[in-house]
Structure 1
Amino acid sequence: MNKKLHALLLISVFVVATCGLIYELIAGTLASYLLGDSVTQFSTIIGVYLFSMGIGSWVSKYFEKNIIYWFIQLEILVGIVGGTSSTILFLVFESVASFRIILYSLVGLTGILVGLEIPLLMRILKDRYEFKDLVSRVFTFDYIGALLASLVFPLLLIPYLGLVKTSYLVGILNISVALMVCLNFKKEIKAATYLQTSAIISIIGLLVGFVYANNITSYAESLTYTDTIIYSKSTPYQRIILTKKGKVLRLFLNGNLQFSSDDEYRYHEALVHPALQALPYAKNVLIMGGGDGLAVREILRYPQIRSVTLVDLDKGMTTLFKSNSILLSLNKRSLLSPKVTVINADAFTWIRAQKRKYDFIVVDFPDPSNYSVGKLYTNAFYKLAKGVLSPNGIMVVQSTSPYVAPKSFWTVDKTLRSVGLHTIPYHNFVPSFGEWGYIMATQGQPYVKPKYFLPGMKFISTGSLNQMLYFPPDMAKVETEVNKLNNQALVKYFEDEWAAVL
């Protein structure tokens, strides 16, 4: 084997390793988008994928003849299966009850095929190197390819291409390797013409899928969402979907409804005004989460507010709500106000470095459906938040439903109290979500109910606040654990309670 062919095969190792890991990342990301709980999804998918690779490696010993032929066939098959996997999963998510079976079957099949690749390549190269050099070179290229995949996937592929286009692109790369090997080894392969034709047809098919990926995604999502989708984008952190029916806009993050424009005022007025109306001296406000700017809109009603700092992880989210004309009308251009500073950062990391005190803090994170969000509901996080709350300030935390998920709600309350904060739980009815809960927290001073609210409110009033502070027996306090980083009890409560009603 000449140096050119030997170099081609080592490059093949690099491409194969890169593509193999990207398929794994695509499956994990897509599962977390559609099923939630990213830790569980990635953990199980990695486990199934690695186990399947082990099966593929074991099966490779039964390929005794025509190794180059089988390697090329394998690359074509990996490209087809991996390249179309995200499309298949998007399309069957709503229409097939056994979605998980299809998901893990595709992950397992891809893992077996990828597990076959490296052993076959090593057998092709074995006559070129001594065993120690062969292992060293193959695994060096393998691990470098894995590093490249782990960097380009979150930084380039998902932000700029999305999951479906990424799948097709990686599939094309896999089959391109097959085609290059076939062209260079055609004298040693009896069915070279058949393999070349198969590779070219497969690449053309995947290219068509790549070109029409947005149409495929739109169609798949139209099966999930009953309203017309007017915006969809995958960011490194989540899938953002905006739908419209008549005048009603709805925002979904990873398939979960975040607000509906016809009743979001009930949620955001209840989130902001019971606390801020009781703080006539408040000047500096911190919001963590709330990248849609709707809570900021309510805060800017108060002329005494000098500054609002909004910390939201996803730049894609805040950029959308600073630029889309329909959304600018909804949030009244709040994120463009000179009083508002938008910081795109992980709130847990950001707040650790803060020394500034805030008179009012709004904690408006998504529900604690997974451990990455659950950490923002822990005693460790609330201790940090307490550290930046002014002595006479108030913090308010959105705390899921005290009716559907009472253990989850009262866990938030107990966790806040565990760091020395005085809590004032309350709730209200939001038609899109049902009965929803919030908890105000202070450094210990008593909460004084406002005697009036600003004019122009659609929902909040002194009368409605009295009702919000009362908890009937079916939402009464229950005993729970404190949510800590090392137990994440809240995530388990949340999963169990919401699973019972979905």
Structure 2
Amino acid sequence: MIDQYAMAQRGPSSAGPPSCRGPRLPVRADAVRFLVLLVVFVCAACGLVYELELVALGSYLIGDSVTQASVVLSVMVFAMGIGSLLAKRLRSRAAVGFGLVESVLALVGGMSALALYASFAWLGESRGAIVAFSLAIGVLTGAEIPLLMTLIQRVSRQDAGAAVADLFAADYVGALVGGLAFPFLLLPWLGQLTAAMVTGGVNVVAGGALVLWLFGRDLSPRARTLLLVADVLVLAVLATAAATVGEFERAARTAVYGSGVRVAVHTSVQEIVLTGGTRGPLDLYLDGRLRVSARDEYRYDEGLVHPAMRGPHARVLVLGGGDGLAAREALRYRDVRSVTVVDIDAGVERLARTDPALSVLNGHAYRDPRLHAVTGDAFTWLRRAEQGSGPGPFDVVVCDLPDPGITSSSKLYSQEFYGLAARALAPGGRLVVHAGPLGRRVRAFWTVDATLRAAGFRTTPYRATGPADGFAGGPDRAKRAGRGRADAEDWGFLLAARGTDAP
């Protein structure tokens, strides 16, 4: 490699066949090295965005975030090894090989979110597509480093060990930036579909610029034309898809939720969809899961709240329940002095206040001066309340939380969480917990019961049932509109009190 570098510095008139000479560079070799490392940084950031996009979509479309993350990460790491091996065949044409790899990667990664959502919306299944995209993106990502290693050694005096160290340092820093940019910038500003397309555009521009500008003089006219046409086509496809993503999302939502979609918003926490309310019963979906059905939501909310109100109930705490429906039931009692609602998503609260159908359904609970709304994570809020910054203690704590089978809600069913809730209770206070469908997930229900007992509570289990047709509001529902019957027709609850108090 040092001999090749020396030949490159002597110019194109050096002796030896073209394949043995270094590339003819438009800038100094040290500047090229810096630019190659910069492209490594950008490509690593893009690669991690693709990876996180697949994990996020897998969790949203299928559920069980731990399983989806494990599948995507393991398949991609395996595929990266395959890509590294396949890249050995391209080392003799590293520049054109890297350019083509980046073009294909930008197209596959940039369109992956749209393709997965389309698969789910119109085919009703996306597991196979997630594995296929994970495999394809992993193979292409794995081919990057070997090809870039070849390019950087052609223009640098570094030995292989130092070059590898520089490449991996740039790669890891790029991965850090991409990993932080996805949840804090790309997802809230652009949404999942557009974020992937923009990332693909950045990817193809970075890869194409590196090859066509820095190493283009050593490419044949045919190779330069091929790369330029490929990059332009990829950019055109991504730009067209980004321009029509709004229409696509509307069509996909119609396929998933039916034709009655009135509101569809992406918050920093989740996707919120409202259907019906003007024509037909109101349905509220959170990340595709039916959270409220006006057909019979009262069965869930009355079953959750009223048993806990049999006793002192002047001060009530609702954890979750930003839709205002559990608060509505608590506010029915005239001797309730205050109801505090702690929900993580301000978007749900905003709709509960302003949407005509939802605000009517919750009895305009947010207009009641006794209700105090807090936006925040229930676990964190209880911890701060324990330190004296909250309005407790409370006579009743209502845990109107996501289904315990959803991985992201696991901490809200932990012994630590119940310990914090116990310290928020006044003497003689009661806690009620939605613990999942007793009929279908018996083990999960009794696990929640055992956790409550381990936290020092005495418990009384009970259940509420929905109608036989399966329409049922509440967090047990995993049905997506148009996908057949609901998978829950009952709700299991646990009424709990501390120590020797009777629940």
TM-score bracket, normalised by the shorter chain, equals: 0.7 to 0.9
SS at match of 2:77: helix
Please say if 1:417 is aligned against 2:449.
no
Shift of residue 203 of structure 1? 0.5
Within 5 Å, which residues of 2 pair with 1:337-416? 337-355=368-386, 356-416=392-452
Q: Distance in 1 between matches of 2:296 and 2:446?
A: 25
1:305 aligned residue: 336
- Structure 2 residue aligned with 1:159: 188
Q: Is the 8 A contact 2:282 2:357 kept in 1?
A: no
Q: Does 1:139 align with 2:163?
A: no
Paired with 1:341 and 1:145, the residues of 2 have a C-alpha distance of: 43
Structure 2 distance, partners of 1:273, 1:435, is 17
Q: Which of the numbers 177, 196, 210 marks the counterpart of 1:148?
A: 177
Q: Give the counterpart of 2:296 among 263, 267, 270.
A: 263
SS in 1 for 2:336: coil
Task: Please say if residues 178 and 199 of structure 1, whose CA atoms lie closer than 8 Å, have aligned partners that are also in contact.
Answer: no
Helix, strand or coil at the partner of 2:275: strand
Instruction: Structure 1 unaligned segments of length 5 or more: list them.
Output: 448-502
Asked if the contact 1:45/1:107 (under 8 Å) is kept, the reply is yes
Give the Cα separation in 2 of the matches to 1:263 and 1:135.
Answer: 62
Offset from partner CA, 1:366-424 (integer Å, 9 cap, x none): 11123331222223322221121111111111122222223332332333233332222
Q: CA deviation at 1:67?
A: 1.2
* Cross-structure match for 1:170: 199
- After TM superposition, give the deviation of residue 182 of structure 1 in Å: 4.2
Of residues 99, 102, 125 in structure 1, which corresponds to 2:126? Answer: 99
Change (3 A) 1:194 1:403: same
Counterpart position of 1:37: 64
1:280-315 Cα shifts (integer Å, max 9, x gaps):
x42222111112121112222233333322222233
Larger CA Rg, structure 1 vs 2: 2
1:114 and 2:141 are equivalent in the alignment: yes
Separation of aligned partners in 2, 1:317 and 1:133: 52
CA distance in 2, matches of 1:179, 1:320: 45
**Contact kept? 1:179, 1:200, Cα under 8 Å:** no
| Shift in CA distance, 153/320, structure 1 to aligned 2, threshold 3 Å | farther
**Alpha-carbon distance between aligned partners in 2 of 1:358 and 1:54, rounded to the nearest angstrom:** 56
CA displacement at 1:436 relative to structure 2 = 1.8
Q: Distance in 1 between matches of 2:248 and 2:124?
A: 21
- Asked if 2 retains the 8 angstrom alpha-carbon contact of 1:359 and 1:394, the reply is yes
User: Normalising to structure 2: TM-score of the pair?
Assistant: 0.83
RMSD: 2.1
| 2:234 alignment counterpart | 202
Distance of 2:261 and 2:94 partners within structure 1: 48
Q: Is residue 222 from structure 1 mapped to residue 251 from structure 2 by the alignment?
A: no
1:334 and 2:334 are equivalent in the alignment: no
1:439 is paired with a residue whose SS is strand
Distance (Å, rounded) in 1 between the aligned partners of 2:127 and 2:82: 20
Change (3 A) 1:233 1:127: same
Partner residue of 2:22? none
Partner of 2:449: helix, strand, or coil? helix
The question of 1:242 aligning with 2:274 is answered yes
Q: What do the CA deviations read for 1:323-370 (whole angstroms, capped 9, x no partner)?
A: 434323332332354433333332223322323311110001111123
In structure 1, the partner of 2:482 is none
Give SS of 1:54's match: helix
The correspondence for 1:187, drawn from 192, 210, 217, is 217
Q: Give yes or no for contact 1:90–1:221 (8 Å, CA) kept in 2.
A: no
* SS of residue matched to 1:241: strand
In 2 relative to 1, CA 49–217 (structure 1 residues): closer, same or farther, beyond 3 Å?
same
Task: Tell me whether 60-69 or 296-305 shows the greater mean CA deviation.
Answer: 296-305
Distance 2:362 2:188 in 1: 25
Q: How does 1:443-458 map to 2 (within 5 A)?
A: 443=498, 444-446=500-502
Shift of 1:213: 1.5
After superposition, the Cα gap between the structure-2 partners of 1:189 and 1:340, relative to the gap in structure 1 and judged at 3 Å, is: farther
TM-score (normalised: structure 1): 0.83
User: Which letter maps to 2:228?
Assistant: Q
Identical-pair percentage: 37
Q: Which residue of 2 aligns with 1:483?
A: none
For structure 2, which runs of at least 5 residues remain unmatched after alignment? 1-24, 387-391, 473-488
3-state secondary structure, aligned to 1:404: coil
Q: Which amino acid aligns with 1:31?
A: G
2:497 matches 1:442: yes
SS in 2 for 1:353: helix
Between the aligned partners of 1:94 and 1:135, the Cα distance in structure 2 is 43
